[in-house]
Amino acid sequence: MTYSRLLILALVIVACGVQRASAQLLNPGEPTRAGTFGGSSGFGSGEVGTSMLGSMYSGDQTNDAWGPQQAKPTGPSWGNNSGNSFCADCSSIWDELTFFAGIDGSKQPQDFGVNANLGAQFNANWGIPVWKDYGIGLQVGTGLVATGNTLQFFEFIGEPTGRTQSYTTIGMFQRTQNGFAYGLVYDFLYETSYDSFALGQWRLRASYDWGPCDQFGITANIASLEDTGIIGGFIPVTLRPISQATAYWRHYWETGAQTSLWLGLSEGHAEHHLIGGPAPNQDDTLVIGADMLAPLSDHFALYGEVNLMMPTDTGTVDAFVGIQWFPGGNAKGARRGRYAPLLPMAAPTSFNVDLQP
């Protein structure tokens, strides 16, 4: 068993422990308040709970459907999330619906060492309340990445000049009043390039809010479904997702912007080259990445991700950036709402694909 698989197994065990600990900390007889993430962001005029932000609050408390209502923060205002507070009676199923459009660039082992891709990405991602008393939600999303080849080699051997990838993500998550959160999704990918392939993976995340400005967590990608095809008219290949595990840190800035950095390990990947021929597989390797979200208004934000799997000549180089639309006006509270999806919508940055001849 490779080191990355051992790490993924350890992360799964930790996540199960987090879930059990959070369940014990919750009082089954009392509804869970939206306090941990209150409002849309926990930073502004929305009502937030004292479990994470208690040191920023003062004043009298009154009772509402969730128990004691929290006073307004006395610290700096980091954006207006008025009307987007999450509580038992006022949260809407539309609050955590987002749409994205942007530029996407990708190079992965599935490109057989002779290609990279550049084009556009579109997606919709939705977090839906399921069991409000315990902060449990459903995540559903769909995405489309349409790219063209940046090199001409595939065209010279009679293959298509572009690639289309269709992603589907569905899963469950829970955020608790003590700052812990966990989620599990399944990603399905159908793509057409030099052949058609259907692939699948699981993603698991567990996180903890360390104060009002920082979040720490672990993420594991576990390969589930592989597929076979033909390239060049006669060369059989197998595509499969690459399992990996990372630890991340997310910071919420006073401007309302958010940045995340992650570091981890992936299982080995192929280093075969369509022209150079077979080569030994790369062993477990380093994965680094980052994301950024910067609100532009109540309804729009600049959003991007980058993920690199070493070595970059045979690993992955994936990135995208674009505009995210929040129909509910929750851009300044993005990813902080009680029912905001815990994991991002699947994309090349979070769905790396290996090729084996």
Amino acid identity at 41: S
Region 204-224: what's the mean pLDDT? 97
Q: Is residue 284 pLDDT above 80, yes or no?
A: yes
Residue matched to tokens 């009392």: 30
- Rounded to whole angstroms, what are the CA distances from 135 to 11, 25, 62, 68, 285? 22, 14, 22, 17, 36
Highest mean pLDDT among 147-161, 222-236, 261-275: 222-236
What's the rounded Cα separation, in Å, for the pair 64 and 62?
A: 7
What's the rounded Cα separation, in Å, for the pair 283 and 62?
A: 58
Tens-place pLDDT, residues 111-134:
988 899 999 999 999 999 999 889
Quick one: 183 exposed, middle or buried, by C-beta within 10 A (0-12, 13-18, 19+)? buried
> What sections of the chain are H helices per DSSP?
3-25, 50-53, 153-156
- Across the chain, mean pLDDT equals 80
- Rounded to whole angstroms, what are the CA distances from 246 to 61, 92, 215, 287, 293? 40, 32, 14, 7, 20
What's the rounded Cα separation, in Å, for the pair 347 and 350?
A: 5
Region 203-208: what's the mean pLDDT? 98
Portion of the chain with pLDDT greater than 90, in percent? 62
DSSP conformation letters of 53-103: HGGGB-S--EEETTEEEPPPB-S------TT----TTT--TTTEEEEEEEE
Cβ partners under 8 Å of residue 131, min gap 6: none
| pLDDT confidence tier of residue 190, bands split at 50, 70 and 90 | very high
Which secondary structure element, helix H or strand E, spans residue 221, and what is its range?
Answer: strand 214-225
Output the six-digit token pair for 294.
């910067």
- How many helices (H) and strands (E) are present in the chain, helices listed first? 3, 17
Q: Lowest-pLDDT range, 144-158, 161-175, 254-268, 318-332?
A: 144-158
Q: What's the whole-model pTM score?
A: 0.76
What's the rounded Cα separation, in Å, for the pair 238 and 221?
A: 19
* Number of domains comprising the chain: 1
Strands 258-266 and 196-209: unpaired
pLDDT of residue 280: 79
Which residue(s) pair with 27 in the sheet? Answer: none
pLDDT of residue 8: 52
- For residues 88 and 153, the model is more confident at 153
| pLDDT confidence tier of residue 342, bands split at 50, 70 and 90 | very high
What's the rounded Cα separation, in Å, for the pair 209 and 135?
A: 15
pLDDT of residue 61: 38
DSSP conformation letters of 258-280: EEEEEEEEE------BTTTB--P
Q: Is residue 104 pLDDT above 60, yes or no?
A: yes
Q: Is residue 212 pLDDT above 70, yes or no?
A: yes
Amino acid identity at 58: S
Output the six-digit token pair for 221.
């990608």
Cβ partners under 8 Å of residue 322, min gap 6: 100, 101, 102, 103, 121, 302, 303, 304
| pLDDT confidence tier of residue 223, bands split at 50, 70 and 90 | very high
Domain with 293, as residue range(s), is 3-356
CATH of residue 32's domain is: 2.40.160.160
